[in-house]
């Protein structure tokens, strides 16, 4: 009898299993191919694996990375590495499992994204994808995806075009153009500096010219005669012997030793 109970307990344990639903997850029970019961969150639950299973769906923000070639306005194929940040509405999990299944990334999100990105990129030039236009493209792709996926229970939080791979010839042409623009800006800076230096020298010369003009206008005959008288007075006070030649207006001193 004791062996019978032990055997029964072992069989019961073998015929049951346990599901652990963590934070950011929702689980639905499926029995005989049909979803039954309500979604469960953040708990541990025992179930019979021979009769049913639990399907777990993350409802936290998920990163889906997609690499593909996209068309540009001029008809070029541009390589693009993109991240799609999305989450699932918790109350829509049963509907998603019934309509799409667990492989919703490949069956729904990725095709919608590829279509939206191709539609948007075909309206932009390839060179613009390296500029601020990239953020405009990301916003438009997200908008198109939300129009299709929001009613199905998906929220597209961000579309991030992480890397744009241009054809080699176009990439070289853009680099050469940027280099030429930098050289042009550098030359404009040099010319502006030279113009400033020329202006400084002109202003300095004008100052010297004005000073000389003012000085020459102030040297009247009366002023010169007064200065000569002052010079004679200073010479008369000197104890040294000097020879002075003058026309009565301007003194010229000759060293007595020479």
> Cβ distance 68 to 165 under 8 Å?
no
Separation of alpha carbons 255 and 257, rounded Å: 5
For 66: left if phi > 0, alpha if psi spans -120 to 50, otherwise beta; the answer is: beta
Higher pLDDT pick, 231 / 26: 26
pLDDT-derived band of residue 71, with 50, 70 and 90 as boundaries? confident
User: Taking Cα atoms as reference points, which of 229, 258, 234 lies closest to residue 246?
Assistant: 229
> Cβ distance 81 to 163 under 8 Å?
yes
pLDDT-derived band of residue 256, with 50, 70 and 90 as boundaries? very low
Express as a percent the part of the chain with pLDDT over 70: 70
Domains and their CATH numbers in the chain: 2-58 (no CATH), 62-169 (3.30.479.30), 221-255 (no CATH)
Mean of per-residue pLDDT scores for the chain: 79
Q: For residue range 140-164, list pLDDT tens digits in order.
A: 999 999 999 999 999 999 999 988 8
Q: Which of 6-10, 138-142, 152-156, 190-194 has the lowest mean pLDDT?
A: 6-10
pLDDT of residue 258: 42
Q: Is the C-alpha dihedral spanning 159, 163, 169, 175 positive or negative?
A: positive
Three-class DSSP labels, 208-244 = HHHHHHHHHHHCCHHHHHHHHHHHHHHHHCCCCCEEE
> Cβ distance 86 to 57 under 8 Å?
no
Which pTM does this prediction carry? 0.60
Residue 149's CB: how many other CB atoms inside 10 A? 19
């Amino acid at each position: 009898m004791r062996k019978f109970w032990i055997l029964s307990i072992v069989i019961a344990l073998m015929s049951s299993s346990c599901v652990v639903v963590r934070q950011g997850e929702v689980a639905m029970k499926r029995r005989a191919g049909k979803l039954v019961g309500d979604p469960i969150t953040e708990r541990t639950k025992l179930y019979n694996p021979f009769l049913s299973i639990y399907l777990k769906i993350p409802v936290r923000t998920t990163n889906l990375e997609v690499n593909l070639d996209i068309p540009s306005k001029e008809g070029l194929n541009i390589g693009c590495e993109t991240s799609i940040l999305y989450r699932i509405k918790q109350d829509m999990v049963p509907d998603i499992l019934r309509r799409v299944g667990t492989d919703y990334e490949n069956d729904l999100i990725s095709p919608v994204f590829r279509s939206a990105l191709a539609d948007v990129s075909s309206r932009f030039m390839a060179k613009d994808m390296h500029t601020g236009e990239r953020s405009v493209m990301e916003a438009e792709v997200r908008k198109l995806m939300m129009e299709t996926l929001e009613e199905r229970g998906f929220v597209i939080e961000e579309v991030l075009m992480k890397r744009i791979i241009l054809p080699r010839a176009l990439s070289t042409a853009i680099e050469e153009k940027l280099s030429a623009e930098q050289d042009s800006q550098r030359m404009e800076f040099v010319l502006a500096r030279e113009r400033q230096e020329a202006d400084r020298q002109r202003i300095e010369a004008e100052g010297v010219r004005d000073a000389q003009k003012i000085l020459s206008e102030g040297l009247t005959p009366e002023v010169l005669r007064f200065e000569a008288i002052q010079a004679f007075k200073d010479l008369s006070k000197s104890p040294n012997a000097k020879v002075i030649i003058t026309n009565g207006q301007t003194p010229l001193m000759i060293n007595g030793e020479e």
